[in-house]
Chains A and B, each alone.
Chain A
Amino acid sequence: MIGSYRDEGKTVAVIAIDPTSPYTGGSLLGDRIRMQRYSTDDGVFIKSIPTEGWHGGISRITTKMITVMDAAGYDIILVETVGVGQAEVEIANLVHTTVVVLVGGLGDYIQVIKAGILEIADIYVINKVDKNDATDLEYNLKNLKSISDDDIENKWEPPVMLTQATGSVGIGKLTQAITMHRDYLNKTGRFKDFFKSRYKTELKQILLDHVIELLEKKLEDDPDFKKLLDSKNNKDPYSTAEKLFLKLFNIKNTR
Chain B
Amino acid sequence: MAEDKKTIISILNKKSGFKQDSLFDKKTLKLIETDFKKWKASSVGEADRKNWETVPRTTLGSDIPRKLIYTPLDIADFDYRKSLGNSGEEPFTRGVHPNMYRGKKFTMRQINGFGGPEDTNKRLKFMMDNGATGLSVIFDLPTTQMYDSDDPISAGQVGTSGVAIDSAVDMEILFESIPLDEVTVSIVTHFPSNTAILFPMFLAAAEKRGIPFDKLGGTVQNDTTMEEVVRSGPEYLPPKDVFRIQCDNNEYIRQNIPRWNFTTFNGYNMRDFGTSSVTEIAVAFANAMETLENLISRGHDVDFIAKRLAFFWSISNDFFDEAARIRAARRLWSHIMKHKFGAKDARSQWMRCHVQTSGLTLTRQEPLNNIVRASYQALASVLGGAQSLHVSSYDEAYAVPTEEAALLSLRTQQIIQAETAVTEVVDPLGGSYYVEALTDEIEKRIIDELTEIETQGGYVAAIERGWLHRKIATYFQTEQAKMESGEIPIVGLNCYKSNREEAKIDVFSYPEDAEERQIEKIEKLKETRDNKAVDKVLKDLEDACKTGKNIIPYSLECARAGVTEGEVFRVLKSSFGLWSPPEVF
Contact = CB atoms under 8 A, between A and B. Distances in A.
A and B touch in the complex (CB under 8 A): yes
Interface of A: 28, 30, 33-34, 36-37, 131, 164, 166-168
Interface residues of B, number: 10
B18 interface: no
Contacts of B576: 166-167
Contact of B579 (A36, A37, A166, A168): A166
Interface of B: 234, 238, 464, 576-580, 583, 585
Contacts of A30: 583, 585
A28 B238 CA distance: 24
Given A166-B238, A166-B578, A167-B577, A33 B464 contact: no
Nearest to B583: A30
B585 A28 contact: yes
Nearest to B579: A166
Contacts of A164: 577
Contacts of B579: 166
Nearest to A31: B583
Majority secondary structure of chain A interface residues (helix, strand, loop or mixed) = helix
A168 B577 contact: yes
Nearest to B585: A28
A53 B577 CA distance: 36
A130 B238 CA distance: 12
A34 B580 contact: yes
A146 B583 CA distance: 36
A45 B571 CA distance: 29
A30 B466 CA distance: 15
A36 B578 CA distance: 13
B392 to A, nearest CB: 30
Contact of A166 (B234, B577, B585): B577
Nearest to B237: A166
A30 B469 CA distance: 15
Contacts of A166: 238, 576-579
B146 to A, nearest CB: 16
Given A28-B583, A33-B580, A166-B576, 7 more contacts: A28-B585, A30-B583, A33-B583, A37-B234, A164-B577, A166-B577, A167-B576
A28 B473 CA distance: 15
Given A30-B583, A167-B577, A36 B238 contact: no
Contacts of B464: 131
Nearest to B465: A106
A36 B234 contact: yes
* Closest 9 pairs between A and B when the two form their complex, measured CB to CB: A166-B577, A167-B577, A30-B583, A34-B580, A166-B579, A166-B238, A28-B585, A166-B578, A168-B577
A37 B234 CA distance: 9
B183 to A, nearest CB: 41
Nearest to A166: B577
Contacts of B238: 166
Contacts of A131: 464
A29 B578 CA distance: 21
A167 B579 CA distance: 9
Nearest to B464: A131
Contacts of A28: 583, 585
Contacts of B585: 28, 30
B71 to A, nearest CB: 47
A152 B238 CA distance: 44
Contacts of B578: 166
Nearest to B234: A36
Nearest to A106: B465
Contacts of A34: 580
- Name the residue in A33, A166, A167, A168 with the highest tally of chain B Cβ atoms < 10 Å from its Cβ: A166
A167 B238 CA distance: 10
B241 to A, nearest CB: 9
A205 to B, nearest CB: 28
Nearest to B238: A166
Contacts of B580: 33-34
B534 to A, nearest CB: 25
A30 to B, nearest CB: 4
B442 to A, nearest CB: 34
A36 B235 CA distance: 10
- Name the residue in B234, B464, B577 with the highest tally of chain A Cβ atoms < 10 Å from its Cβ: B577
